[in-house]
Amino acid sequence: MLKPRLEEWILKRCKKSAVKPEKHFLPSNNVQLKDVINYPLVNFTNLLEELIKKNDDGLVYLKEQIGIVKSKRNKK
């Protein structure tokens, strides 16, 4: 289950998958990450893409769920 504290969840996924947020110019502290997560968004996007490439189970699941939601919306 994705918690309301997205930054903490993402950093836990990074730790589990041995992905360093600093590689994407993002802090590894959840408070600091919250302050900069959208500026620039491309850094956060690159971090998510790396987690997906490493087959992080949490991100893969989230990606699948987003695909299901998009599919349901397209059928309406």
3-state SS string over 17-56?
HCCCHHHHCCCCCHHHHHHHCCCCHHHHHHHHHHHHHCCC
Q: How confident is the model at residue 15 (pLDDT cuts 50, 70, 90)?
A: very high
Please report the pLDDT score of residue 53 as a whole number.
Answer: 92
Q: How confident is the model at residue 3 (pLDDT cuts 50, 70, 90)?
A: low
pLDDT above 60: residue 2: no
Rounded to an integer, what distance in angstroms lies between the CA atom of residue 23 and that of residue 43?
9
Q: Report the number of distinct structural domains present in the chain.
A: 1
Tell me the pTM.
0.76
Residue closest to 37 by CA, chosen among 71, 5, 75, 60:
5
Q: Tell me whether residue 57 is in a domain.
A: yes
Q: Tell me whether residue 22 is in a domain.
A: yes
Q: Tell me whether residue 54 is in a domain.
A: yes
Domain that residue 48 falls in: 6-75
pLDDT in tens, 25-71: 999 999 999 999 888 889 999 999 999 999 999 998 988 888 887 77
Q: Tell me whether residue 1 is in a domain.
A: no
